[in-house]
Amino acid sequence: MTPVAAAPRRENRGPSAGPENRRALIAAAAEVFAEKGITAPLSAVAKRAGVGQGSLYRHFPDRTSLALAAFEDNVAAIEALADEPGTDLDALLDLITDQMIGSVAFVSIVSLGAADERLPAVGQRVVDAIAPAVEQARKAGRLRRDATADDVMLAIGMASSFVAQNPGADRRAVAESCWALLDRALRP
Amino acid sequence: MTPVAAAPRRENRGPSAGPENRRALIAAAAEVFAEKGITAPLSAVAKRAGVGQGSLYRHFPDRTSLALAAFEDNVAAIEALADEPGTDLDALLDLITDQMIGSVAFVSIVSLGAADERLPAVGQRVVDAIAPAVEQARKAGRLRRDATADDVMLAIGMASSFVAQNPGADRRAVAESCWALLDRALRP
Amino acid sequence: MTPVAAAPRRENRGPSAGPENRRALIAAAAEVFAEKGITAPLSAVAKRAGVGQGSLYRHFPDRTSLALAAFEDNVAAIEALADEPGTDLDALLDLITDQMIGSVAFVSIVSLGAADERLPAVGQRVVDAIAPAVEQARKAGRLRRDATADDVMLAIGMASSFVAQNPGADRRAVAESCWALLDRALRP
Amino acid sequence: MTPVAAAPRRENRGPSAGPENRRALIAAAAEVFAEKGITAPLSAVAKRAGVGQGSLYRHFPDRTSLALAAFEDNVAAIEALADEPGTDLDALLDLITDQMIGSVAFVSIVSLGAADERLPAVGQRVVDAIAPAVEQARKAGRLRRDATADDVMLAIGMASSFVAQNPGADRRAVAESCWALLDRALRP
DNA sequence: AATGAATGAGTATTCATTCAT
DNA sequence: CATGAATGAATACTCATTCAT
């Protein structure tokens, strides 16, 4: 029995759509994971990206790869900002806070199952990126004498995980509450 | 049609098993949710409790009810400890830390979907339970002057959510790292 | 958005349907596997059995279990016939030939991937079941002096695999061609 | 939008690569089908051949065409050997046995779905190729008086299908077991 | 009231086939 | 004419929920 109507198959835009699809998938994953958590259906990511299921799997063979790619975007932005001359720790934390509100967030990476050796490396990149700003802030007296970059990273992780737990809530307000408390642990 | 051996069905212990089943389900839920997260299969909870699926649904019509009941056990333990004469804040936080390591933990409740109006009430009970100890600790100079019970609760929430994210890790070690940082935000 | 019409869900006949479902699944598997090969969709088996997908997986956790169960039926029938007083080798081979034409057939088992330690055991049961008849036939001069039960089993395997390869063909005619040749290898 | 590095796409060698690709595909198909069975992913064949998916489809519009082409290679080798002056039946069967161990094998063709009218023709070519050697062997007393080329072909088919069923096993040992039995049906 | 089997919707994943470049 | 990315249908498998016993 032949189908009655021609299937409304998405137009095949050809290989040139590859990089665009990849970007769309990363952006969609960042949003979907932020909204529904890291266990959200991959089909939802593909649909939001406007991309076929197969293409998703071609670009990212598993869930971790996709989350990692989205997170990579976050990290690259952090590194880029850290490299700009006038950037201080506050600016970096603002950016990171924005990310934990609207994107995959660090915690999602952690909760992938820990069964991936790529995770610690990415975390370390963030630590490395913020380390100079941490040092500078400490010297400027805007951070406790004994605060390390690892401390800051732990604070980020805690805030991030707490924010990620509140799917429906006002994420920015939650994040600000977290930082209000954590600042007291880090600031002099 | 070959005769079929009678299924080795668990003996139906009748209505008297009700309360016992309920307790078994709560205990099983606390463990299973702690191990596999709040999204663990409910069938796993029923199996660990040694109880039929249907009984689980009779006692707890949805996942939230079950988690709430398990959490209720936690809260009751906290309240009981708080009511004991010699209890100070440290003892309460030790108990709560034990709970976030080995049981459902506060964060699981939060991440249930937020679509439940019972959550804030339970959270408030914890705040109320720890409030006297917080006040006492502040007066004794073991807490910052400006620290509130809500601050402590937020710290608990952050630590709890961070611990919950690390399925495989050494949860106690993670919890201790969190408190090492958070203490600086709360202690003078 | 609620569904417009009530889903035409199959009536739940309750636990008592269990044994019946199991039998229906085995029968359906025997047919479907015989028709489309051992790699046929399991959903097709469930549908033909008139049973839900989940029930199929409850009864038979993997494809091999299902094929083994269907094969078990075959073996049991062979053993039963072998135990009847007047049975000779020809009768057994007739039954086996019927099975390779209309049911799972031995070859399906072999082609499951060899990654199952249960397979050799079942094959051995067939060898054991036919061994007395082989011995008797040899003594009666209806089998070559040097023919063993293993030889007969190998002949069965070859005929079976050849028949199984011909999905569309007249399987009985093919089987008879095979035996016409193989008889010359086994008979004096 | 970040610039994307040019994909390391295989160099397009142009039309002249046509025949070479065709050969590579046939060789790859022979191997892949022998290893994983006739239902192996076509993408695996293309990859092993080092050829694009599209080229595979251009050369061979469906799975049967590809298998048929690989089989054609086998048949051509048989015909070539049969045409050599000193070739006897044993030499031909040795070659055919090698093919059923390491290549597509006759049975694969059969199991393609039978819905192809080209199959009988290829089979007939093998029968024709071996017929003179069969005749010669019979005259030399190395074959039973009543053995025909069709009998030999049937034996080949059975051995071939049995070997093909054992994905993991030692295919040569299996083939030798088959021939040990089948020889008794064919030899005097 | 307890039990656990039955049900099928939902999700992950693979792969045949098409088609822009 | 070659390439390989894009597409989505097909299939395996899980698990929340219902319900006969």
By the 8 A CB rule, do B113 and B139 touch? no
Q: List strand E contacts in C 28-87 (CB < 7 A).
A: 50-55, 57-59
pLDDT, residue B174, reads 93
Establish if D151 belongs to a structural domain.
yes
Is residue D61 predicted with pLDDT exceeding 90?
Answer: yes
By the 8 A CB rule, do C95 and C78 touch? yes
Looking at CA atoms only, how far is residue B8 from chain C in angstroms?
13
Å: A175 CA to E6 C1': 46
- What dihedral do alpha carbons C157, C160, C166, C167 form, nearest 10°? -120
- The low-confidence residues of chain C, meaning pLDDT below 50, are 1-7
Establish if A178 belongs to a structural domain.
yes
In whole angstroms, what is the distance from residue B89 CA to residue B186 CA?
12
Establish if A134 belongs to a structural domain.
yes
Establish if A9 belongs to a structural domain.
no
List the single protein residue with the shortest CA to C1' distance from F16: B42
CB contact under 8 A, C23 and B7: no
Counting as contact any 3 or more CB pairs under 8 A, the partners of C are B, D
Establish if B157 belongs to a structural domain.
yes
A54 and D CB contact within 8 Å: no
Domain extent for D150: 67-186
- D:145-164 residues touching chain C, CB 8 A cutoff: 151, 154-155, 157-159, 161-162, 164
Q: List strand E contacts in A 33-92 (CB < 7 A).
A: 39, 41-43, 53-54, 57, 61-63
Residue B19, helix vs strand vs coil: helix
Establish if C55 belongs to a structural domain.
yes
Chains D and B touch (3+ CB pairs under 8 A): no
Q: Angle at CA C48, nearest 5°, toward C45 and C49?
A: 85
CB contact under 8 A, A15 and D4: no
Looking at CA atoms only, how far is residue D61 from chain A in angstroms?
20
CB contact under 8 A, D158 and C168: no
Is residue B113 predicted with pLDDT exceeding 80?
Answer: no
C18 CB neighbours strand E below 7 A: yes
Q: List strand E contacts in B 2-61 (CB < 7 A).
A: 7, 9-10, 12-15, 17-18, 21, 51-55, 57-59
CB contact under 8 A, D161 and C157: no
Looking at CA atoms only, how far is residue B4 from chain C in angstroms?
7
Q: For strand E, which nucleotides have at least one atom less than 7 Å from a protein CB? A: 1-21
Question: If you average pLDDT over residues B138-160, what whole number do you get?
Answer: 94
Looking at CA atoms only, how far is residue B18 from chain A in angstroms?
33
pLDDT digits (tens, 9 = 90+) for C15-46: 677 788 999 999 999 999 988 888 899 999 99
Question: If you average pLDDT over residues B126-134, what whole number do you get?
Answer: 96
CATH code of the domain covering residue A68: 1.10.357.10
Å: C67 CA to F21 C1': 30
CB contact under 8 A, D181 and C155: yes
Structure tokens at B182: 């958070």
What contacts 24+ positions apart, CB below 8 Å, involve B70-73?
A: B70/B26, B70/B29, B70/B30, B70/B33, B70/B103, B70/B104, B71/B104, B71/B106, B71/B108, B71/B109, B71/B122, B72/B122, B73/B26, B73/B30
Establish if C156 belongs to a structural domain.
yes
Q: How many CB pairs under 8 A join B and C?
A: 4
- Nearest alpha-carbon partner for C163 in C83, C75, C103, C87: C103
pLDDT digits (tens, 9 = 90+) for B63-103: 999 999 998 889 999 999 999 999 999 999 999 999 998 88
* Domain count for chain D: 1
- Nearest alpha-carbon partner for A92 in A126, A60, A142, A140: A126
Q: For every one of its 188 residues, what pLDDT tens digit does chain A have, with 9 covering 90 and above?
A: 333 343 456 666 666 777 889 999 999 999 999 888 888 999 999 999 999 999 999 999 999 999 999 988 899 999 999 999 999 999 999 999 999 998 887 777 666 655 677 777 888 999 999 999 999 999 999 999 999 999 999 999 999 999 988 766 788 999 999 999 999 999 87
**DSSP assignment letter at B17:** G
Counting as contact any 3 or more CB pairs under 8 A, the partners of B are A, C
Looking at CA atoms only, how far is residue D4 from chain A in angstroms?
7
Establish if B169 belongs to a structural domain.
yes
Structure tokens at A138: 């400490």
Residues 6+ apart with CB under 8 A from D46: D25, D28, D52, D53, D55, D56
Q: How many CB pairs under 8 A join A and B?
A: 82
CB contact under 8 A, A110 and B182: no
pLDDT, residue A104, reads 80
